[in-house]
Amino acid sequence: MYPSSKAALARWARRTAVAEGWADAGIALNVLAPGIVLTPMSAGLFDDPEMKKVMDAAVPMPLNGYLRPEDVARAVLFLASEGNSHITGQVLYVDGGAEATLRGPETF
């Protein structure tokens, strides 16, 4: 269910971003796809060696490892800022390279 809901959200954003009342009104609509974030809620997973092994295999993050909440916040702030003048309808992967690693170079 998780992968299909992520795909549905991405498609919705892509379609809606260019629908009337969004881009034509100056509103950028994007999706942020973070990797594994170090939070109090996820702390127990990191303490369990077996779960950490599962996470590392499921979401490999070769660039700088796990995210801190402020790493995600910086991406959100940029997308919501005036500096973002032309990015809309996109999925921004803030995942340390997990999506690219899992998808592989042969799909580009």
Catalytic residues: 2
**Cβ(28)–Cβ(88) below 8 Å:** yes
Quote the CA–CA distance of 13 and 11 in Å, as a whole number.
5
